[in-house]
Amino acid sequence: MSVSTPGRARVGRPADRAGARRATTLAFAAQGMSVAAVYTTVPAVTEHLRLSPLLTTATLVGVALTAGAGSFLGLAAVRVAGPVATMRGALVTIAVALTLVGWAPGTATVICAYVLFGLAAGALDVGINTRGAAIERAYGRSVFGSFYTAWSVGGVLAALLTAGAARLDRPVGESLAVQAGVLLVVAVCLRTHTLPTTQVPYGQPPLERGLWLRILPFGLVLLIVYVVDSTVSAWSSVYLRQTLDASLTVAPFAYAAYQAGTVVGRATVDRLVQRVGTVAVVRTAALVVAGGLAGVATAPSWPIAVLAAGVVGLGASVLAPLCLASAARLRPGAAETVLARLNLFNYAGVVTGGAVSGLLGSTGEFRLAYALPAALAVLVLAGARHFTQPPGTSET
C-alpha cells in the first residue's frame, strides 16, 4: 500500500481539496433539500391520500428505521466503490423516491416510496459524512460546519418551494418532481477529487471495545439532537396546521425558519470553535435549544412558533456536525465504520422523536411534544466535555 504524505496527492493525480470540498458541499445541500422536501409535504400528501394520523406517524417512523438500515448499505457501498460513488447512487435513488411520493396513486405506493427514500437517505448520510471527515483531515481545521450550512440552505430552499407550490395551488407531485430533478443534476455533476492527505483504505478491522465506549457519549448527544430535529422537522408543519390553525401555505414556514436558524448557526460554528473551543460551543447550543423548544411549546400563534423554531435551529445546528467530526477523529482510518455506527443513534433519535411527537399530536397534545425535548436538550450539557478539537487548534 502506498501512502501519500500531507500536502501531496497520490501518484498520477493532482490534489484538489478545494474541488472535493465544493462537490461535497453540493451533495450536503442536495440531502438537505431532499429531507425538507419529504417533511414539508407531509400535510399535503396526507390530505391528498386521506391518510390517518396514526398511519402518517407509522410511515415517518418507518422512514427513520429504513434509514438506519440504509446506513449499513452505505457503509458497504463506501467500502466497495468509495464515498463519491455512494453519494451519486443514493442521490439518484432519492430522486426516484421523491417522484413516487408526489405522484403515488394510493397508500401502498406512497409507503413503498417513503421506504425507498429512507434506505437511500441512510446510504447518503454515510457517504457524505465519510467524505466530509476526509476533507476536514486534509484541511487540518474545522470545516464540517460549512457542509452542514449547505445542508440547511438546501432545506430552506425546499421548504420555500413547497410553500410556493401550495400558494399557487399546484399539486404536491409537481414540487417534488422539480426537487427530484435538482438532485439528479447534482448527482451528474459530482466528481471525484484526490485529497492531499494521508490515505487509508476503507474496510479496516472491527473497532475495539474501548473505542465503542468512547463513541457512546457522542451517540447519546446525537440521539438527543435528532429527537429535537425530528420533532421540529417532521411535525412542525402539522403542528402549525392542526394546533395553530395555519394554512397549507404557511405550514412549511416553521421548517423554513428552523433551517434558516441552522444556516446561521452552521455558518459561524467553525469560527466559534476556533475562538472559544468546542466544549463551550456545545454547552451554549444546548441551552439555546432548550429555550427555543419552550418557545414553540407555549406559542400562542403561528408567527411566534415560527420564530421559536428558528431559535431551535440556531442551537441544534452546531451539535450534529461537531458530534460527527469529533467521533471521526477517534479513528481516522475507519471513519466510515465509526460514522455508520454513530448513525444508529441518529435514527434512534429520529424514530423516538417522530413517534412520540406523532402520537402526542394525534391525541391533541402537540405542545407537550415540544416541551419534553426541551428537558432532554439540557442533558447535552453532560456530554459536552467529550468533544474534541480539530487538528491544529486548541481549547481556550
pLDDT in 10s for each residue of the chain, 396 residues: 333 333 444 433 445 788 889 999 999 999 999 988 998 888 888 888 888 878 887 887 788 789 888 988 998 998 899 899 999 999 999 999 999 999 999 899 999 999 999 999 999 988 998 898 888 888 877 787 788 888 888 988 898 888 888 888 888 899 899 999 999 999 998 888 777 654 444 445 555 666 777 788 888 888 888 888 888 877 788 888 888 888 878 888 888 898 788 888 888 888 888 888 888 899 999 999 999 999 999 999 899 999 999 999 999 888 888 887 788 777 766 777 777 777 778 778 877 877 787 778 777 788 888 888 888 877 888 878 788 766 555 444
| Contacts of 123 by beta carbon, 8 Å cutoff, 6+ apart | 70, 71, 73, 74, 77, 86, 89, 90, 93
Are the beta carbons of 309 and 248 closer than 8 angstroms? no
Are the beta carbons of 101 and 41 closer than 8 angstroms? yes
What's the pLDDT at 396?
44
CA-closest candidate to residue 250, choices 166, 168, 169:
166
Q: Which residues are paired to 194 by β-bridges?
A: 15
The one-letter amino acid code at 73 reads L
Q: What is the 3-state secondary structure (H, E, C) of the chain?
A: CCCCCCCCCCCCCCECHHHHHHHHHHHHHHHHHHHHHHHHCHHHHHHHHCCCHHHHHHHHHHHHHHHHHHHHHHHHHHHHHCHHHHHHHHHHHHHHHHHHHHHCCCHHHHHHHHHHHHHHHHHHHHHHHHHHHHHHHHHCCCCHHHHHHHHHHHHHHHHHHHHHHHHCCCCHHHHHHHHHHHHHHHHHHCCCCECCCCCCCCCCCCCCHHHHHHHHHHHHHHHHHHHHHHHHHHHHHHHHHHCCCCCCCCCCHHHHHHHHHHHHHHHHHHHHHHHHCHHHHHHHHHHHHHHHHHHHHHCCCHHHHHHHHHHHHHHHCCHHHHHHHHHHCCCHHHHHHHHHHHHHHHHHHHHHHHHHHHHHHHCCCHHHHHHHHHHHHHHHHHHHHHCCCCCCCCCC
What's the pLDDT at 344?
78
15 φ/ψ angles, rounded to the nearest 5 degrees: -75, 140
The x, y and z cell numbers of residue 190, run together, are: 459530482
The x, y and z cell numbers of residue 266, run together, are: 452552521
How buried is 1 (Cβ within 10 angstroms: 0-12 exposed, 13-18 middle, 19+ buried)?
exposed
| Contacts of 107 by beta carbon, 8 Å cutoff, 6+ apart | 49, 51, 55
What's the pLDDT at 330?
77
What's the pLDDT at 182?
94
- In whole angstroms, give the CA distance from residue 238 to residue 118: 20
Are the beta carbons of 110 and 188 closer than 8 angstroms? no
Q: Which residues are paired to 15 by β-bridges?
A: 194
The one-letter amino acid code at 232 reads V
- In whole angstroms, give the CA distance from residue 35 to residue 258: 13
How buried is 299 (Cβ within 10 angstroms: 0-12 exposed, 13-18 middle, 19+ buried)?
buried
